[in-house]
Amino acid sequence: MFLVTSQEMKEMDRLAIESFGIPGMVLMESAGRGAVDILYRHFPDIRRMKVGITAGRGNNGGDGFVIARYLAGDCVKISVYLLSDRGRVQGDAAANLKLLDRIGVSVIEIPNEKAFESHLASMKECDIWVDAMLGTGLKSDVRGLFKEVIEFLNTLQKPILAVDIPSGLDSDTGKPRGSCIKAAVTATFGLPKIGQVVFPGGQFVGALEVVDIGMPRHVIDKVGPKHYLMSRQSIKSGLKPRGPETHKGSAGHLLVLAGSPGKTGAAVMTSYAAMRVGAGLVTLGIPKSLNMAMESQLTEVMTEPLPESPGCTLGLSSYEKTMKLLAQKDGLAIGPGLGTAASTQKLVRKLVQTCSAPMVIDADGLNSLVGHTECLKNVRSTVVMTPHPGEMARLAGTTTSAVQQDRIGMARDFAATHRVYLVLKGARTIVAHPDGTVFVNPTGNPGMASGGMGDVLTGMIAGMIVQGLPVGEAVNASVYIHGCAADFLAASVGPVGFLASDLIEILPEHINGLVKETAVRPRHNAFIRAL
């Protein structure tokens, strides 16, 4: 599913009106009618309630006027509050305002704070609110009258349906612009907006519903959005059943370089996760002194004791043997629990530049590249990097706060600059491809804030790659299924306390279900009905 910026949506509207000949009034009518359908679906008792509608003087307000007309025609009690002088409303919005006059719906004009204060008592009597004040074009902080009304509506703690986007929310970044409506439901038009699905925007939209306003597909294609929301359908389409002649040798062989004293669990989870997603063979390269401990824990995974550096860690002394192992492997996962000794970091950087197999770099593998991202310029293979925000900040030479303020921009720019696939983990994980395409993952929950979850994801991605799935599809599928399995655990065993090892165990069930089109439904708090 496409995600669009405010400018992209504006351009689509323009093309639909000017080049395809769809009148703006038709688009506005479709939007308002669709929003009314959503109101009835979410609030089936609405006919017994009083609905308040706050409208601005722009097209967002025009959508609100359409909603008011339909509700009034269905004998729903409504009060319409226009936050402007009537004479300042123009275009299609003005035309729909006049239609309200024709059917006898009175519109209360509130052009300033003083007028607002005079209507507070009547506004408190409304049971449900429709927010049609500010649309997706907002680019500055909300002030004055609009700020007061937004804050007033939020304090009422009554359910609010936001028209297209909660007033005050930046549709491109998901950041509140000073004050922002806290909606129970958002009816967005045409396509979902980026700011509605990333955080903190996701906390303001409530249940996100997409209204089909008849936007022609060729108009969407002409604008060419490069942001997508992962969906069950898009992930399922890339997963295929195995052929009857598949054997372990044809299902891929992964080399994992992971683990150091005190961090062997990371190596175990990465290796097992790769096998749970279907890798035919997995070999764990481990410091020689840790090999016996690993052999006692890993039954299906092969181990390879490697020459070690002081401190029982892998270093440059293990490079030659590692390269010989890689000659017979289909992929490399490197970094989980590897340690940050100087020799270990040198090994990582040398392997990054010389390995010819696809590689997934995580954790200490990423830390080894801090200050040395030039290593990525001359790589001989496809690289996937899976940083959390702190690791991303170190790689990009910035702060964690800066990363979190612009997760999509940071991920996209790094991926495009260094020609890598980048998975920026966290709430609404971002996957950026080298061509600048960005995917937002809707699955996952706070219960994943537990040690080992990232190690599992590394193993999943690498395990899917070695089976021959195109790298981009392997990354997207792994991220989506990783969160989907965690959502199932949150619903079945509780929102906190489930472990990364618990998640590994149920991976086959979720992958199999997707392949057979009978998957266990992800039980996350779905914020878009289409998902």
CATH number at residue 150: 3.40.50.10260
In a domain, 529, yes or no: no
pLDDT category of residue 238 using cuts at 50, 70 and 90: confident
The average pLDDT across 245-260 equals 97
The average pLDDT across 331-349 equals 97
Rounded distance, CA 423 to CA 432, Å? 7
Distances (CA, A) of 330 to 80, 194, 244, 300, 337: 64, 36, 21, 18, 22
- pLDDT tens sequence across 12-29: 999 999 988 999 999 999
Task: Compute CA 287 distance to the chain's CA centroid, rounded to the nearest angstrom.
Answer: 37
My answer on whether 71 and 165 are in the same domain is: yes
In a domain, 165, yes or no: yes
The average pLDDT across 87-108 equals 97
Q: pTM of the prediction?
A: 0.93
396: number of Cβ within 10 Å: 18
pLDDT at 526 over 60: no
Question: Torsions phi, psi of 21, nearest 5?
Answer: 80, 20
Based on C-alpha coordinates, what's the Rg of the chain? 27
Strands 160-163 and 185-189: parallel
In a domain, 352, yes or no: yes
pLDDT, the chain, mean:
95
Range of the domain at 383: 234-239+248-516
In a domain, 270, yes or no: yes
The average pLDDT across 231-239 equals 92
The average pLDDT across 111-135 equals 97
In a domain, 122, yes or no: yes
Q: Are 22 and 214 in contact (CB under 8 A)?
A: yes
In a domain, 186, yes or no: yes
CATH number at residue 451: 3.40.1190.20
Q: Which pLDDT belongs to residue 528?
A: 60
| Structure tokens that stand for 451 in this block | 């040690």
Q: Are 397 and 373 in contact (CB under 8 A)?
A: no
pLDDT at 531 over 90: no
pLDDT at 519 over 60: no
The average pLDDT across 149-171 equals 98
The average pLDDT across 380-387 equals 97
Q: Which pLDDT belongs to residue 516?
A: 85
Q: How many domains does the chain fold into?
A: 2
In a domain, 522, yes or no: no
Residue 228 forms beta bridges with which residues? 2, 439
